[in-house]
Amino acid sequence: MNAILGQVGVALGLLSAITGAVALLGGLLFRNDAWLRAAPGTVWGVLAGALLATGAMEHALVTHDFSLAYVADNNSRETPLLYSVTGLWAALQGSILLWALVLSGYLAIMGHRYRARVTDRLVATALLSALVVTIFFFGLISGPANPFVTVAGRPPLDGLGPNALLQDNPLIAFHPVFLYLGFVGLTIPFSFAIGALVTGRLGEGWLVETRRFTLVAWAFLTVGIVMGAWWSYQVLGWGGFWAWDPVENAALLPWLCGTAYLHSVMIQERRGLLRVWNLALLVSAFSLTILGTFLTRSGVLVSVHTFSDSSAVGPSLLGFFGLVVASGVGLIAWRGDRLASPGSIDSPISREGAFLVNNLLFAAFAVVVLLGTVFPLLVQALDNQQVTVGTPYFDSIAVPLGLALLFFMAIAPALPWRASSLAVLRQRMLGPVSFGVLVIAACVAAGVRGLTPLAAFGLGAVAGGSALRQIVLATASSQRAGTGAWRGIVGRANGGMVVHIGVVLVAVSLASATSYGHRAEFTLRPGQSVSYEGHRIEYVGSHPFHQPNRSGIVSAVRVDGAVFHPAISDYPGYEGIGTPAVDSSIRDDVYLTVNGVASNGAGSATIGVVEQPMVMWLWVGGVLTALGALLAAFPARRRRRDSPWEGRVAQRGSLPGMDRAEMAELSGEAARVAAGVAE
């Protein structure tokens, strides 16, 4: 029954998407508005199909319907309910179904939102592009990645269960979902970019339409990546959170392109510049989500995060990636004559000058990550050699690029648009730079050593100080204007500053944890303790445990008086899976693993200890970054044509610490926030 319902859902979604695409194509080709108007309604059929298919799969997982091969491979009668539900994304076929569901949701929002404007050829073409992407993914789950294939003969009495790592921590319920919400969300701005290119309406209108979609997708992707790092930290047992693994890199690549785009798009909106660049970034961000899926799901690259692969989807994904790139590049080349910028950047000492350099750095970062990820594959194909590109290579490039990005993140908010002077920059940056030097001095006085981490702390302080300065000025300005102090953190520019503070926390935490971490291993008898990096660690004892889905040994380890329980678990088919325990504080984390203990828990145990400073700030920074993105996307009030805002600011004069030019910028910013147009 589940198989039939699922197949019906997939067929409904696919047919609805095809119907919508045909109606749009026909409407566009034959200039038939009735067909165009009929098309948005089909998105509800797509969503209904995706919901039916997903519901059928979830029902099959929760009721252990082993007649489905996917359930037999990724579920067992002992699998807890939570991990039965998350079994939907425990392997390739279910993951593609989740992708289709998320895409259907975005498509429904798009179709509903633009239903009244679908006779606009740009909107119609954008919806057609999104439907073509939808057809591809429904095509995958109808064919090479069909999750509703039934087992041959009698269904097994029990299934294999999910991979042990996918039933060891509840974070698995959230991290992949957020990641997919980010990946798939990029489909909407990509579709509008294609619409703009096809119709030749390459002004700034389509950018304004897709700005919030892009920001929301970026925020989801950010949360997904940070949650993925947290999951790795909590589950994999080596105390790290980022390993430049192909799956991690596949998520980072579109994030880098998306971050570059969110900055450069402001130059196009303000000045009409960088049109080709922005289109290229959107095409790159979307196509890299497809390439990443191909690299990590087709079996061509191996990753600790790849829990299943299927060479059957490889050619389809690669072919679709080629189609996306060829379409994007081809259309940009075709529309080259209309994409010429109406002017150029007036001065390198300007907001757009700093954004241009930051875009260069983000692009370089993305190229290096892509090159390092695919290099082993290329060398093997071309030279039949086996090489491995690991963390040290990526770090050697990422660290200088990261420091340069912190530098430009610090100065860009202080620079006005169009043109400025060094004198203005000096005046605005004096406070943040003084703060940065003070932080370095405090670190050196406290005995902190190392050029790279000190540079990261100093630049982080300058960037954080610069962002905080903007928030304080915007908040004070809003308060004086009577629009409420809270508006100082709302809107793209102000929310962006909250994002900057979050990114600074992430950067400082990364520099601290990776530069000053320590790891050791102690073999201790019950009751025996050691001092390690300022912590008292005592081994209390171990005992076996048995749960429906796993058994093993759990140890009790006292760290500075509090007891933690690292374990070694055996799942059906997977033995000796370590479950770490973490004593987390704002100062440092003490990460505990059981590396060796007798099977009955008696006698001494070997305890692995990793001490890393400031790890908690990585998660706090991630949350703040996502919160800032939401504030940046926050819908401001509707336009008030008689808004007295600008005049009132002008009458009252400038705020302390703000020059006249900055007052004008801020009043313009606040006016846009109040008007609800630019933000």
Partner 1 sequence: MSSRVVWLGLAVAAVVLLAVGSVHGPESSASARVAYLESVLKCPSCEDLSITQSDAPSAVALRHRVLRWVDEGWSDAKIEQAVVSSYGEAELLVPPAGGVNATLYILPVALIGLATAAVGWHLFGRRRVERGGG
For the bound state, the minimum distance from the C-beta of residue 537 to partner 1, rounded and expressed in Å, comes to 17
Amino acid at 404: A
Which residue, 423 or 677, is less far from partner 1 as judged by CB? 423
The Cβ-side half-sphere exposure at 161, using a 13 Å CA radius, reads 20
In terms of phi and psi (left: phi > 0; alpha: psi -120 to 50; beta: otherwise), the region of 161 is: left
Distance of CA 584 to the CA centre of its chain: 24
Of 104, 137, 445, the closest CA to residue 320 belongs to: 137
Give CA separation, 282 vs 13, 161, 336, 405, 629, in Å: 26, 39, 16, 21, 18
Q: In degrees rounded to 5, what are phi and psi of residue 138?
A: -65, -30
Nearest approach in angstroms of CB 372 to partner 1 is: 7
Contact 466, 436 (CB under 8 A): no
Nearer to partner 1, 345 or 582 (CB): 345
User: By CB under 8 A, is residue 451 in contact with partner 1?
Assistant: yes
Which residue, 109 or 448, is less far from partner 1 as judged by CB?
448
Output the smallest distance, CB 637 to partner 1, in A. Answer: 37
Residue 433 interacts with partner 1 (CB under 8 A): yes or no: yes
Is residue 309 close enough to count as binding partner 1 by CB under 8 A?
no
385 near partner 1, judged by CB under 8 A: yes
Among 308, 515, 528, 604, binds partner 1 (CB under 8 A): 515
CB of 312 to partner 1, least distance (A): 21
Sequence-ordered list of residues with C-beta below 8 angstroms from that of 464, at least 6 positions apart, any chain: 432, 500, 501, 504, 505
Find the shortest distance in angstroms from Cβ 182 to partner 1: 24
If binding is defined by CB under 8 A, does position 237 make contact with partner 1?
Answer: yes
- Does 348 participate in binding partner 1 (rule CB under 8 A)? yes
| Stretch of residues binding partner 1 (CB under 8 A), selected from 45-53, 371-379, 539-547, 613-621 | 371-379
By three-state DSSP, how is residue 143 classified?
A: coil
C-beta closer to partner 1: residue 8 or 530: 530
Q: Contacting partner 1 (CB under 8 A), which of 27, 144, 578, 628?
A: 578
b vs e for 482-521, b when ≥16 Cβ sit within 10 Å of the residue's Cβ? Answer: ebeeebbbbbbbbbbbbbbbbbbbbbbbbbbbbbbbeeee
Closer residue to partner 1, CB minimum distance, 348 or 544: 348
Q: Which of 82, 173, 208, 387 binds partner 1 (CB under 8 A)?
A: 387
Q: Give the SS3 label for residue 273.
A: coil
Closest CA to 133 of 321, 2, 368: 321
CB of 344 to partner 1, least distance (A): 5
**Is 116 one of the binding residues for partner 1 (CB under 8 A)?**
no
* Exposure class string for 541-567: b at 16+ Cβ within 10 A, else e: bbeeeeeebbebbbbbbbbeeeebbbb
Question: At 246, which helix (H) or strand (E)?
Answer: helix 246-271
From 315, 319, 336, 450, residue interacting with partner 1 (rule: CB under 8 A): 450
4, 208, 444, 650: residue in contact with partner 1 (rule CB under 8 A): 444
Tell me the per-residue interface mask from 49 to 88 with partner 1, x by CB under 8 A, - otherwise.
----------------------------------------
Quick check: 381 binds partner 1 (CB under 8 A)? no
| Contact call for residue 311 and partner 1 (CB under 8 A) | no
Q: What are phi and psi of 587, to 5 degrees?
A: -85, -50
Task: Please give the size of the binding site for partner 1, defined by CB under 8 A.
Answer: 67
The smaller minimum CB distance to partner 1, of residues 398 and 559, is found at 398
CB atoms within 10 A of CB 38: 17
Nearer to partner 1, 180 or 457 (CB): 457
Among the listed residues 365, 390, 308, 337, the one whose alpha carbon sits nearest the alpha carbon of residue 88: 308
- Residue 530 binds partner 1, judged by CB under 8 A: no
Can you read off the two tokens belonging to residue 577?
């899976």
Tell me if residue 117 falls in helix, strand or coil: helix
CB of 139 to partner 1, least distance (A): 31
Question: Any contact of residue 304 with partner 1 (CB under 8 A)?
Answer: yes
Tell me if 364 contacts partner 1 by CB under 8 A.
yes
* 3 state SS of 92: helix
Among 84-92, 123-131, 423-431, 623-631, the segment contacting partner 1 (CB under 8 A): 423-431
Output 174 or 435, the one with its CB closest to partner 1: 435
| 367: contact with partner 1 by CB under 8 A | yes
**If binding is defined by CB under 8 A, does position 243 make contact with partner 1?**
yes
Helix (H, G, I), strand (E, B) or coil at 544: strand
User: What are the residues whose beta carbons fall under 8 Å from the beta carbon of 631, sequence distance 6 or more?
Assistant: 489, 490, 491, 494, 495, 498
Q: Give the integer Cα–Cα distance in Å for 195 and 156.
A: 49
Which range binds partner 1 by CB under 8 A, 24-32, 223-231, 437-445, 500-508?
Answer: 437-445
User: Are residues 361 and 295 in contact, defined by beta-carbon separation less than 8 angstroms?
Assistant: no
Among 116, 173, 381, 437, binds partner 1 (CB under 8 A): 437
- Binding status of residue 246 toward partner 1 by CB under 8 A: yes
Look at residues 51, 52, 41 and name the one whose alpha carbon lies nearest to residue 17. Answer: 41
* Of positions 65, 73, 245, 679, contacts partner 1 by CB under 8 A: 245
Shortest separation between residue 548's beta carbon and partner 1, angstroms = 25
> By CB under 8 A, is residue 595 in contact with partner 1?
yes
Query: What would the DSSP string read from start to end of 3-65?
Result: HHHHHHHHHHHHHHHHHHHHHHHHHHHTT-HHHHHHGGGHHHHHHHHHHHHHHHHHHHHHTT-
Distance from C-alpha of 36 to C-alpha of 24, rounded to nearest angstrom: 5
Among 15, 22, 276, 379, binds partner 1 (CB under 8 A): 379
Q: Which is nearer to partner 1, 460 or 517 (CB)?
A: 517
Q: Which of 38, 109, 448, 655 binds partner 1 (CB under 8 A)?
A: 448
Binding residues vs partner 1 (CB under 8 A): 236-238, 240, 243, 245-246, 302-304, 344-346, 348, 353, 356-357, 360, 363-364, 367-368, 371-372, 375, 379, 382-383, 385-393, 396-397, 423, 426-427, 430, 433-434, 436-437, 440-441, 443-444, 448-451, 453-455, 458, 515-519, 578, 593, 595
